[in-house]
Structure 1
Amino acid sequence: MYQDVLIPTDGSDGTRRSINHGLTIAGRFDATVHALSVVPEGPLGTLQTDEAIPAAERAVERVETEATREGVDVVTAVEQGVPHEEILAYADDHGIDMIVMGTQGRTGLDRVLVGSVTERIVRMADVPVVTVRLTEDIRIEDPDEAAEIARKTAEREGYEDVTVPEEPHRTSASWIVPLETDRGPLHVHVDAVTSEGRVATGPETE
């Protein structure tokens, strides 16, 4: 019934639920997940911030890692433009059968913007749209706390001489913590909701 499921993600904390929901649906129907992040352009066609594209790449890579862990086929894409237009265009161009997305983004203005994007997608899409209310509370907001959990996770897995060479970054309610160990570089994902650490085995962010 469903062969291609599109999960738009902005890398915000709340998108964790829509990602999990989309992966569950894809796994049930043996479908391919398409992780798409759209970088909004400003009024003159310029990017909103210099960090916008790297953040979008991290967002889709997070979905890729989760999909790989769940044994779900996945492709990723980062586009630039008007979010709802790019999402609808991607769905048309890639034969998407279902779109799964959240009803909220980050906080403040982003929350309003993501809500309006979802509303437009629901009204305009030619395929079913599953909306997921995003209400999970983030428990770990301090990068130092995430780094300590990651270090302990690596040590439990048998790694030694574990150090944190750069500050962790958070996307989709997870901290991605780069580590240096006796066996070389390593990434550990720390769930910002459950505090669970996991050594990553799929494609990682830089």
Structure 2
Amino acid sequence: MSVEIKKIGVGLDGSEASFKALKEALDLAKKLGAEIVALHVLPIPTEFADLGGMLVDVEAQLRNEAEAILARGAEEAKKKDVPYTGVILEGDIAESMANYAADKGLDLLVVGYQGKSKLSELIMGSVTSRLLGISKVPVLVIK
């Protein structure tokens, strides 16, 4: 049985660990002739919807940061001459990435071992651990 990898999803949260994961994914994509789909998740809890205008401002700022992170990823992909698409998702990070990967037919997810949210990892468990538990797509964790 052979596994063909043509679409590689990469979790990009702006941390150095996520850009290290992108670098490894780009190298792999180059070797396999695959494309990269960078995933950035805006963790906007629905409980905050009551905040109205303030939430709109926060969401706009988060979207601007997400676009900058994905643009940096696009620059790295261009240097390696690897096809690249950046996608902004919303919601729970692990669930959003796992669902997108399954729904869009990604062949592999690549994530960094430790992202931005060190405190939330201690309290809620790491995004990477959750992703490993729920993803229907293979997950490669880069240390």
Normalised by the size of structure 1, how large is the TM-score? 0.59
Residues paired across the two proteins, number: 133
Q: Between Structure 1 and Structure 2, which shows a larger proportion of helix residues?
A: 2
Counterpart in the other structure of 2:16: 13
- Alignment of structure 1 residues 165-176 onto 2, 5 Å: none
CA distance in 2, matches of 1:114, 1:60: 26
Of 2-11 and 101-110, deviating more is 101-110
Counterpart in the other structure of 1:106: 116
Confirm or deny: 8 A CA contact 1:64 1:76 kept in the other structure: yes
Counterpart in the other structure of 2:64: 54
Query: 83, 90, 100: which one pairs with 2:93?
Result: 83
**Over the residues paired in the alignment, what is the CA RMSD in angstroms?**
2.2
Deviation, structure 1 residue 106: 2.7
- Alignment of structure 1 residues 22-37 onto 2, 5 Å: 22-37=25-40
Structure 2 runs not aligned, ≥5 long:
50-54
Larger Rg: 1
Of 106-115 and 36-45, deviating more is 106-115
Cα distance per residue 1:54-98 (max 9 Å; x no partner): 111111111111111101011111011111111011101211000
Give the number of the structure with larger relative contact order, counting CA–CA contacts within 8 Å between residues 6 or more apart: 2
SS state at 1:72 partner: coil
2:14 aligned partner, one-letter code: G
CA distance in 1, matches of 2:58, 2:124: 17
Query: 113, 128, 142: which one pairs with 1:118?
Result: 128
- Alignment of structure 1 residues 150-189 onto 2, 5 Å: none
Confirm or deny: 8 A CA contact 1:104 1:114 kept in the other structure: no
Counterpart in the other structure of 2:52: none
SS state at 1:44 partner: helix
